[in-house]
Amino acid sequence: MHSPLRTRVRAAVTGLLAATALTAPLALVAAPAQAAAGDDWLHVQGNTIVDASGKEVVLSGVNWFGFNASERVFHGLWSGNITEITQQMANRGINTVRVPISTQLLLEWKAGTFLKPNVNTYANPELEGKNSLQIFEYFLTLCQRYGIKVFLDVHSAEADNSGHVYNMWWKGSITTEDVYAGWEWAAARWKNDDTIVGADIKNEPHGTQGSTERAKWDGTTDKDNFKHFAETASKKILAINPNWLVFVEGVEIYPKEGVSWTSTGLTDYYGTWWGGNLRGVRDFPIDLGANQDQLVYSPHDYGPLVFDQKWFQKDFDKASLTADVWGPNWLFIHDEDIAPLLIGEWGGRLGQDPRQDKWMAALRDLIAERKLSQTFWVLNPNSGDTGGLLLDDWKTWDEVKYSTMLKPTLFQHGGKFVGLDHEVPLGGVGSTTGISISQVGGGTSDTTAPSVPGGLKAGTPTASSVPLSWTASTDTGGSGVAGYEVYRGSTLVGTTTSTSYTVTGLTADTAYSFSVRAKDGAGNVSAASTAVSVRTAAGTGDTTAPSVPTGLTAGTATKTSVPLTWTASTDTGGSGLAGYDVYRGTTLVGSTTTPSYTVTGLTAGTSYSFTVRAKDAAGNVSAASAALTASTAPDVATGSCSVAYTANGWSSGFTAAVKVTNTGTTALNGWTLAFDFPSGQTLTQGWSATWAQSGAKVTATNADWNRVLAPGASVEIGFSGTHTGTNTAPTAFTVNGASCTR
């Protein structure tokens, strides 16, 4: 995607963690548990991506890098929580995540050999003890929970933070055959898991006429012909998993009419961004035979802050970019109904160059108008030339970039974000911001409601519940039956996609009236079914409360939550155990049907008292469990840390020692030191902590052995670096985001 005059360094963080190779037992590389449903696979019709029923879908999401780099895991897990970040993405309408990986990592996963991932398990207790493959598959379970889909992108041959800079899909000991083998392993491993919907064959193949190696696009089977490589890799993948979409990017240059690929003339080629030149599709389209309906072309496009292309050096607007750049390089594929497009990378910083803002707004509008699929670059704040949707704390969102640039391109219907799962709404069960693709109609012409549900009947009631069932409705309007609404009198008590529902929370020996309405994908709702009246059971005479919960314990707390577990209660009264109520002091904070619950919304560094009560179906409630006192993780306040910084330098380099002291009254259970280089210095390596640099900002996160810093205790860490003649010492330091004294 880049001019040879400029190299875009996406990941400024250098992987300095001393990674220890571990050969895992077979259990660690066993096939993952497969998704129960396989109804979310996608394919292609003309220039659109559709589901199995032919309903148009739009993949709208982000990139989250790190698995491609030396850390071999999502960046940011040194401070951000993987569950919270994933849920935030879903709640904000991101229905797809493009996950960059490397061929080297796929081969390591295939061999069952793992390097230690750079994860702060204090911030991510759910990842404790997991290797990089297990972390990735845990991420897949989160995506299932929140209705997000994933596709993999081989970003580079080697696991290298700057691996994408290399032109080709092979490098060093990684051969083209290795790339095929890695993809075949991935296709087989996740063959039955429709959380992963596709494969981006290779990120940004590039090179110009002057490069020693450059990716070309023609009808040959030459080693450097990206078209042949991508076609071959796609066929190998689809032979194993014919349900995956395959995303094929462009190259950098394409010869002008009458020019051979052997030419080295400076004006003989059309040039554009790495991965952005798909002109060759007109003359040499990808041919996947019987699996042609799985092909999506995926160009990349950037603004002048990444590289000041010639079209940015004159007045431009959306119309001129469409005519001069996007149209001839890739938009013709969509406009001529050849295949769908997914803009695999676009994005950048706002408010620094009016031309940058103008370009991004123009591409945003094109994506929205054409209903193009896209994955925004990038979630990570540590992308040096684009910045991220998240800010440096890996928790706070750049609201301006999100709301003005990404949000207008997201897949939306009826004021809600649309996920690609047919059962789980985007954001998860109970989401208020998202819906599932099943809830979207096939068009706006459907104004016909489904038929009224028939045959509503009640099963055997208990003292607190009534099971209902009915005959399925039909829909002649074309958008399909999306589900049913269940009413108690005039009160909506639940929704379901099946033809049965159990109403709970009722009072014993009480008469109720129930009805059901059907709804379709266009939002039309039927009239109510014939009501059914039923009386709940009088009860069994159960006046015996369940046994008191015992063994209440707390897991690893965060700054805002405490996970609780306890031994299950028993019920001898006959009505059966119904669940548990969890109390913080005398306040009911939640209920659960399992002997575990995570209390959230707490204050950092605060002690709380928790109890649990068991309840049965007859409404009897046990006495409270023995109280448990547990504290949230501390949030270091200003003045509760001090830093001493000393450096020894020479003409172009230096070493520095940093002594961090906890001057507070509570222990630090996990810490991250941060400061800015004031004179353009560059970190080269560090010790006694995991060191990283993004722009001027440097962070050092504790090692396992020095994770806990008691009150009054100190830890000494250090690093080496380079400078260009000036080596001014940093003046401001923070620990876990709070300022330290010097």
Active site residues: 204, 345
Question: Which letter does DSSP use for residue 437 in this model?
Answer: G
Q: Which two tokens stand for residue 117?
A: 């991932």
Q: How many angstroms separate the CA atoms of 278 and 263, rounded?
A: 19
Beta-strand runs (E) in 40-95? 43-45, 48-50, 56-57, 60-63
Q: Is the dihedral of CA 280, 284, 288, 294 positive or negative?
A: positive
Distance CA 232, CA 169 (A): 13
Q: 417-426 burial, b for 16+ CB within 10 Å, e for fewer? A: bbbbbbbbbb
- Dmax (CA) for the chain in angstroms is 93
Close Cβ partners of 474 (under 8 Å, ≥ 6 residues apart): 450, 451, 481
With a CB cutoff of 8 Å and minimum separation 6, the contacts of 347 are 302, 360, 376, 377, 378, 386, 401, 405, 406
Letter for the amino acid at 56?
E
| 602 Cβ contact list (under 8 Å, min separation 6) | 559, 560, 561, 562, 608, 632
The answer to whether 265 touches 219, Cβ cutoff 8 Å, is no
Which residues 6+ apart lie within 8 Å of 587 measured at CB?
none
């919907």: which residue's tokens? 197
Rg of the chain over CA atoms, in angstroms?
29
Q: Are strands 628-631 and 342-343 parallel, antiparallel or unpaired?
A: unpaired
- Please check whether residue 75 is in contact with residue 380, taking contact to mean a CB–CB distance below 8 angstroms: yes
Q: Quickly count: other Cβ atoms within 10 Å of residue 203's Cβ.
A: 28
Alpha-carbon distances of 619 from 458, 537, 574, 580, rounded to whole Å: 22, 13, 12, 11
Residue 259, C-beta contacts closer than 8 angstroms, at least 6 positions apart: 265, 268, 269
